[in-house]
Amino acid sequence: MIPQVHLHSLCLLILYLTTGYSQEGKFSGPLKPMTFSIFEGQEPSQIIFQFKANPPAVTFQLTGETDNIFMIERDGLLYYTRALDREARSTHNLQVAALDASGAVVEGPVPITIEVKDINDNRPMFLQSKYEGSVRQNSRPGKPFLYVNATDLDDPATPNAQLYYQIVIQLPMINNIMYFQINNKTGGISLTREGAKELDPAKNPSYNLVVSVKDMGGQSENSFSDTTSVDIIVTENIWKAPEPVEIVENSTDPHPIKITQVRWNDPGAQYSLVDKENWPRFPFSIDQEGDIYVTQPLDREEKDAYVFYAVAKDEYGEALSYRLTIHVKVKDINDNPPTCPSPVSVFEVQENERLGSSIGTLTAHDRDEENTANSFLAYRIVEQTPKLPMDGLFLIENFSGMLQLAKQSLKKQDTPQYNLTVAVSDKDFKTLCSVQINVIDINDQIPIFEKSDYGNLTLTEDTKVGSTILAIQATDADEPFTGSSKILYHITVGDSEGRLGVDTDPHTNTGYVIIKKPLDFETAAVSNIVFKAENPEPLVFGVTYNESSFAKFTLIVTDVNEAPQFPQHVFQANVSEDVAIGTKVGNVTAKDPEGLDIRYSLRGDTRGWLKIDHVTGEIFSVAPLDREAGSPYRVQVVATEVGGSSLSSVSEFHLTLLDVNDNPPRLAKEYTGLFFCHPLRAPGSLIFEATDDDQPKFRGPHFTFSLASGNLENDWEVSKINVTHARLSTRHTSFEEREYIVLIRINDGGRPPLEGIVSLPVTFCTCVEGSCFRPAGHQPGIPTIGMAVGILLTTLLVIGIILTVVFIRMKKDKGKDNVESTQASEVKPLRS
């Protein structure tokens, strides 16, 4: 039988060998300080490390916080015998020493640290099975009013102890809307925006919540959870705007004076006021109890009402709720006397005015509050000057201030002006106002012309508009510079066209006759004009205008030869561009004021498209028209009188050419440089665009595309992309390295339809870096390489010959100079 201790060692050795701990340097090694991490809850008898010691060490000793869990064999095999529990001890501090045969320490002890790693083996637990709290209605959403708390014994640095809070049930649930929310990390319960609006203790005074908590951050199906109950009482919100406040103006009481108050639902709020209107001098304040004060006397006439806001904030300066609106009305006292509308109020009354007639209304003002006793005014005449022919000629209505004629009609020649003193009173004050009443003349005299006939006046019909042609004069015996004596002149007979007008000089009443519209000999050669002079003020009863207020003169207009006149500056016509030659395309008309015949001609017909009938003014086409060449086509029509001075005038004729489909489709641009890289590895395609020169239709061009020859169909394919673009594609890849000309038929779909055949040159060539490489070849006008070399050599040879000739010539000239020099020296006489 094998002893039990040896059997246990044998089992550990087998486990050690099968688990790979025998690998040198990873699971075994010399005795030195080490740290090991082990998950809690693992099966016992797990090997940790194999320590090795050098002789004379023969065994190992383990001490420290072993808790009878950690063991070491004589050969240095460190292991543990029970599952570890991090919540019982998270770190085990051990010491290992190597001993010799006598038990003496020969190496160490060295520290060995065992860190117990956490696993999720503990469920979270709420600290209370039931929570209770209260919240005010209209509290700020998102601000917690109650916290629920749970704990988890697992390692807080791992997800095992990361808690996630959630509201599972809300009772009652109204309209399926959550009134409460919870911070899933802190457990803080607050109102939602809907809850802040809808909570009302009168409807539902209490709510019950079921709150759950999960570990693993709530993200794992294997997380543990717990629930608790939360009872919430809804209390009335006392954060309400106070009733409007009335403050008597100009108070003499000591200030500040408390006028109202606001209160937040909980103590500790910080209060402030916000001026809505940014008044320069804000006369209100609030203390930290929420009491609101007026800080100085108010004046209603300066400002009769104030609107401002009260705000409550927490200790961090965050608003606790919405701000409250405070209304203050300044109550009026009678502290303003009546004021006169002006230093002197002036009125007019006509002489012979009937008794009781209204002269005017005196309207005084009072700055105190309207429609109150403080601003209710009473009027009374206290003095009349002069008192002629008697006192009390005038009456004033007590409350409206309307002045009336009281006793008899007035005469301007007796007294032209009266002055009244009127007392205007409210219940405490009285003000004296001055009133001046002017007696004005009545219109009992008619204007009388100084002469009734101004004779004949002859003018040419081209007399300039605005010219003054005559001065007329009437007089009026009424008071000067009044509506009774002012004279207005009107033409009553002889000018139905309104060619003349009369302006009056306000100082002299002289009338100046002016031309307002051009005169016309042909329609009005002689006009018998009649003037009427009248006043802007109506005449008094029994007085009427008579023949003395009328005058006449005769206007004779002489003829002036005038050019023909067109009825309009521009004549317009529309015609299709394909009309037959000789078609009438329009006509123009003109009239000569003297009735002479007119001859028509065209000017500016640069294309020679039109002709005009010289007598009738009818215009005809004489050549094919082309809208694309120019539309509208503009020419000038000249009308010349036949006989007389041959005067002429000019008008415009604009001919708009309506489009017909007479232009075949074409390519929108010149397509050059189209190529495919040779050899073609896969079928390729190119895109091209079509257009034509006709007028764009409402729905735009609609082209169709096809190959122009059946022989091309084996190599090419055309497909339509849209109404103007198409794609040319290759059907295979076996193309030669050369240029191909692809003919394409384009139909415009017009009425009638037109077709055009266009050619697309496509080159298959060797490509270098994505571009077509074309070796230089002989082109017309460009020499070949051989020719270029020959030309260069010939040029060099000619240059060489020229240089040789020049060199020989220079050498001969130099020899000649030497001979001449020698000869000269031979004949030169010697000097003694």
pLDDT confidence of residue 806 = 67
Per CATH, the architecture of 447-555 is what?
Sandwich (2.60)
Distance, in Å, from the CA atom of 549 to the CA atom of 532, rounded to the nearest integer, reads 6
Q: Is the model's pLDDT at 532 over the cut of 60?
A: yes
pLDDT confidence of residue 520 = 85
Reported as a single tens digit per residue, the pLDDT across 198-217 is 999 999 999 999 999 999 99
Q: Give the mean pLDDT of 725-746.
A: 91
Token match 């002045």: residue?
Answer: 403
Residue 168 in contact with residue 181, Cβ under 8 Å? no
pLDDT confidence of residue 106 = 94
Contacts of 516 (CB under 8 A, 6+ apart): 465, 498, 499, 500, 501
Q: Give the mean pLDDT of 517-531.
A: 89
pLDDT confidence of residue 774 = 63
* Residues of the chain above pLDDT 90, percent: 57
Q: Is the model's pLDDT at 594 over the cut of 90?
A: no
Q: Is the model's pLDDT at 10 over the cut of 70?
A: no
Q: Is the model's pLDDT at 817 over the cut of 80?
A: no
Strand, coil or helix: 825: helix
Q: Give the CATH fold of the 344-440 domain.
A: Immunoglobulin-like (2.60.40)
Q: Is the model's pLDDT at 395 over the cut of 50?
A: yes
Q: Is the model's pLDDT at 505 over the cut of 60?
A: yes
> Please, which pLDDT band fits residue 221 given cuts at 50, 70 and 90?
confident
The strands making up 570-576's β-sheet, listed across from edge to edge, are 570-576, 648-658, 633-641, 598-603
Higher local confidence (pLDDT), 769 or 155 = 155
Strand, coil or helix: 193: helix
Backbone angles phi, psi at 218, to 5 degrees: 70, 10
Contacts of 367 (CB under 8 A, 6+ apart): 301, 336, 339, 375
Distance, in Å, from the CA atom of 275 to the CA atom of 671, rounded to the nearest integer, reads 75
The strands making up 685-691's β-sheet, listed across from edge to edge, are 666-667, 685-691, 725-730, 716-720
pLDDT confidence of residue 818 = 46
Q: Give the mean pLDDT of 294-313.
A: 93
Q: Is the model's pLDDT at 783 over the cut of 60?
A: no
For 28-117, which CATH superfamily applies? Cadherins (2.60.40.60)
Residue 747 in contact with residue 723, Cβ under 8 Å? no
Q: Give the mean pLDDT of 681-702.
A: 78
Q: Give the mean pLDDT of 65-80.
A: 93
Q: Which tokens go with 149? A: 């708390």
CATH number of the domain at 570-658, please? 2.60.40.60
From start to end of 172-224, where are the E strands?
180-182, 188-191, 206-214
CATH number of the domain at 245-331, please? 2.60.40.60
Q: Give the mean pLDDT of 688-701.
A: 72
Contacts of 247 (CB under 8 A, 6+ apart): 259, 294, 298, 328, 329, 330, 331
Residue 692 in contact with residue 666, Cβ under 8 Å? yes
pLDDT confidence of residue 283 = 95
Q: Give the mean pLDDT of 436-456.
A: 91
Determine whether 150 is exposed, middle or buried from the number of CB atoms within 10 Å of its CB (0-12, 13-18, 19+).
buried
Q: 3-state SS of 372-412?
A: CHHHCCEEEEEEEECCCCCCCCEEECCCCCEEEECCCCCCC
Fold matches, 28-117 and 447-555:
yes
Distance, in Å, from the CA atom of 114 to the CA atom of 580, rounded to the nearest integer, reads 113
Reported as a single tens digit per residue, the pLDDT across 261-280 is 999 888 889 999 999 888 78
Strand, coil or helix: 241: coil
pLDDT confidence of residue 775 = 56
Which of the listed CATH numbers 2.60.40.60, 1.10.10.60, 1.10.260.40, 1.10.3720.10 matches domain 666-772? Answer: 2.60.40.60
Q: Give the mean pLDDT of 522-551.
A: 91
Contacts of 492 (CB under 8 A, 6+ apart): 530, 531, 532, 550
Spell out the domain ranges in the chain: 28-117, 125-235, 245-331, 344-440, 447-555, 570-658, 666-772
pLDDT confidence of residue 700 = 58
Which of the listed CATH numbers 3.40.50.300, 1.50.10.10, 3.30.67.10, 2.60.40.60 matches domain 125-235? Answer: 2.60.40.60
> Please, which pLDDT band fits residue 375 given cuts at 50, 70 and 90?
very high
Q: Give the mean pLDDT of 341-363.
A: 90
Q: What is the mean pLDDT of the chain?
A: 87
